[in-house]
Amino acid sequence: AAAATTAASASATINPANACVAITNSTLANVKHSHDQQFAIADSNSNSVTKSFVPCKVCGDKASGYHYGVTSCEGCKGFFRRSIQKQIEYRCLRDGKCLVIRLNRNRCQYCRFKKCLSAGMSRDSVRYGRVPKRSRELNGTPSSTDDPNVIVRVNTPNTPQTPQMCSVASSPSELGCTGQSSVANTANTPGPGGVGGMGVGVNMSVSVGAGGAGGMMGQCGNVSVNGMNVVGNGGSGGVGVGVGGVVNVGITNVDNNGCGVVDMQGTTAELTVYDVIMCVSQAHRMHCSYTEEQTRELMRRPVAVPQNGIATSVSETMEFQKIWLWQLYAGRVTPGVQRIVEFAKRVPGFCDFTQDDQLILIKLGFFEVWLSHVARMINDATLTFDDGTYLTRQQLEILYDNDFVISLVNFANTLNSYGLSDTEIGLFSAMVLLASDRSGLAEPKVISRSRERVAEALRVQLVRSRAGSTQALQLMPALEAKIPELRSLGAKHFSHLDWLRMNWTKLRLPPLFAEIFDIPKTEDDL
């Protein structure tokens, strides 16, 4: 009865909008719900949040806000603005890998600008649908509204766009991650008359059609890495947002500030490629403990298996080591389950799937997503966890076998050789998660559409971050070819866990680890 009361009170505090992967009477659901409650408590105490120190993603100084797509300080915002305005070409006097921190950020401008770009800064990042700060404080509303009739402002030829005028979304909800209406982050390029056209700012080709206030559907294709092409026909023409998404908008009038006021049409507007990149990148950085920033200065230390003083044979000693290593391994992997659940909830489209489909994708895809994250911490000799402890190759062979460890290391070495950024790893792992051919899915076509959208975002990001490189065109097919290999590793890993299923009474595994991999916890689970 007490447990039922606790469960009832917990469910009463959960926001139904965030209730993704809600599994009745399951450990996975309980962990997720407790995590949602922690967020709700943090959100209610807004003063403590606003006073906390938020570092600049480029140099680590105190961030002043969200500038050009990244949480950054005034110094890096100004540096990036000057760099793109003057189109300066920097050179590094060393190896192009200078450390960029607050104390030496002016030492190498090449590496500082490179870090701005790798952090996600872009001149095309623009915030739409902003709510004044005073209104947010009075109403407790987020920086953007979920109202499908949200008013969106775009600059017109009378108000030329400058970097100072451009701010960007400060939360995933402002980028359309809530599954509500979304407008592309855009750069304004005027047409030959009337109100200027509105285009997607991801260095891609966008069509702007003419029409009434009702607007026109955008073109979904023609990615151009060389520049943005916008064609406007004047008047109060409709606005088309292309490449990966369609938004029905129409410029209805021009206000006193010379800004076109755009009304959203409909409540299920598709995200643009740039929105998807931003959403997934933010989700990955928030919920992955193996990002470049978090692992850069990790203190590595080996795992020492204690000796079994009561073992009477070599086989007993080996079994003791295997039990001990599996328990340690499970304890290090389990926190990743909750992180990947939270990551999945922020992947565009995931919360639109049925709850059963969400559960299937997470349960069957968890190890593959986790492996794509931890791959950067695997080499020929060790696998290092996010707390710095590492297993040697010999210890991994005790857990699995020599063939599996060889396949594991080969996969990690190949993936690491591609030099993917955190944003690209996040998009790749989102593709892995959204596998529409998993057994038991109710709506595979819906999942497939979301996966195609993420795949297009990864393709754009790869080309965008490697401008002028022939490697960019080869990377996407190479990454897609790694997914079947990853699926094979996941299947073999699941088979290796049969040993845990047969010997579950000898082990003390975290309940969440046991649940995600279908390992019995009690006699009732058999």
Q: Which of 126-140, 177-191, 215-229 has the highest mean pLDDT?
A: 126-140
The model's pLDDT over 281-334, given as tens digits with 9 standing for 90+, comes to 999 999 999 999 899 888 999 987 777 655 556 667 788 889 999 999 999 999
What's the pLDDT at 196? 34
What's the pLDDT at 271? 58
**List of residues 6+ apart from 357 with CB closer than 8 A:** 441, 442, 443, 447
Place of tokens 């002016």: 106
- Cβ pair 190, 157 in contact under 8 A: yes
pLDDT of 9 over the 70 cut: no
The model's pLDDT over 334-346, given as tens digits with 9 standing for 90+, comes to 999 999 999 999 9
Question: Which of these ranges, 38-52, 183-197, 440-454, has the smallest mean pLDDT?
Answer: 183-197
pLDDT of 7 over the 70 cut: no
Per-residue CA distances from 256 to 173, 195, 259 (Å): 28, 14, 7
What's the pLDDT at 163? 32
Per-residue CA distances from 423 to 120, 313, 358, 478 (Å): 8, 50, 23, 17
What's the pLDDT at 52? 62
How do the domains of the chain map onto residue ranges?
2-50, 65-119, 145-271, 299-509
What's the pLDDT at 28? 52
What's the pLDDT at 22? 39
**List of residues 6+ apart from 222 with CB closer than 8 A:** 204, 205, 207, 242, 243
| Residue 478: burial class (beta carbons within 10 Å; 0-12, 13-18, 19+) | middle
Q: Which of 370, 404, 302 is nearest to 513 (CA)?
A: 370
Count CB atoms within 10 A of the CB of residue 525: 12
Distance between CA atoms of residues 515 and 519, nearest Å: 6
Distance between CA atoms of residues 241 and 182, nearest Å: 11
Q: Which of 83, 97, 99, 155 is nearest to 126 (CA)?
A: 155
What's the pLDDT at 124? 66
The model's pLDDT over 479-506, given as tens digits with 9 standing for 90+, comes to 999 999 999 999 999 999 999 999 999 9
Number of residues written out for the chain: 526
What's the pLDDT at 61? 87
Place of tokens 């845990």: 500
Q: 371: part of which helix (H) or strand (E)? A: helix 355-374
What's the pLDDT at 204? 32
What's the pLDDT at 290? 94
pLDDT of 174 over the 90 cut: no
Question: Is 498 in a helix, a strand, or coil?
Answer: helix
What's the pLDDT at 368? 97
Mean model confidence pLDDT for the chain = 70
Place of tokens 């659940």: 341
Question: Which of these ranges, 194-208, 366-380, 457-471, 499-513, has the smallest mean pLDDT?
Answer: 194-208
What's the pLDDT at 26? 53
- Cβ pair 364, 486 in contact under 8 A: no
What's the pLDDT at 199? 34
Model-wide pTM > 0.85: no
Band of pLDDT at residue 255, cut at 50, 70 and 90? very low
pLDDT of 205 over the 60 cut: no
**List of residues 6+ apart from 225 with CB closer than 8 A:** 203, 204, 463, 464, 467
Q: What average pLDDT score do residues 390-400 get?
A: 94
Phi, psi torsion values for 302, nearest 5 degrees: -75, 160
DSSP E strands: which ranges in 344-468? 382-384, 389-392
pLDDT of 459 over the 50 cut: yes
pLDDT of 381 over the 50 cut: yes
Sign of the dihedral through C-alpha 26, 30, 33, 35: negative
What's the pLDDT at 313? 61
- Cβ pair 233, 191 in contact under 8 A: yes
Written in H, E and C, the secondary structure of 25-53 is CCHHHHHHHHHHHHHHHHHHCHHHHHCCC
Q: What average pLDDT score do residues 88-109 get?
A: 84
Q: Which of 209, 282, 206 is nearest to 244 (CA)?
A: 206
**List of residues 6+ apart from 278 with CB closer than 8 A:** 69, 120, 125, 169, 172, 175, 185
The fraction of the chain above a pLDDT of 70, given in percent, is 60
CA 368 to chain CA centroid, Å, is 16
Distance between CA atoms of residues 464 and 102, nearest Å: 27
Distance between CA atoms of residues 183 and 239, nearest Å: 11
Name residue 391's beta-bridge partners.
383
Fold of the CATH domain 299-509: Retinoid X Receptor (1.10.565)
pLDDT of 88 over the 70 cut: yes
Q: What average pLDDT score do residues 135-146 get?
A: 39
Per-residue CA distances from 449 to 244, 434, 456 (Å): 10, 9, 11
- Cβ pair 23, 355 in contact under 8 A: yes
Per-residue CA distances from 153 to 19, 111, 274 (Å): 32, 35, 18
Q: What average pLDDT score do residues 449-477 get?
A: 89
**Which comes out higher in pLDDT, residue 42 or 113?**
113
The model's pLDDT over 211-246, given as tens digits with 9 standing for 90+, comes to 333 333 333 333 333 333 333 333 333 333 333 333
Question: Which of these ranges, 26-35, 74-83, 92-101, has the smallest mean pLDDT?
Answer: 26-35
Architecture in CATH of 65-119: 2-Layer Sandwich (3.30)
Phi, psi torsion values for 238, nearest 5 degrees: -70, 160
Q: Which of 480, 482, 460 is nearest to 472 (CA)?
A: 460
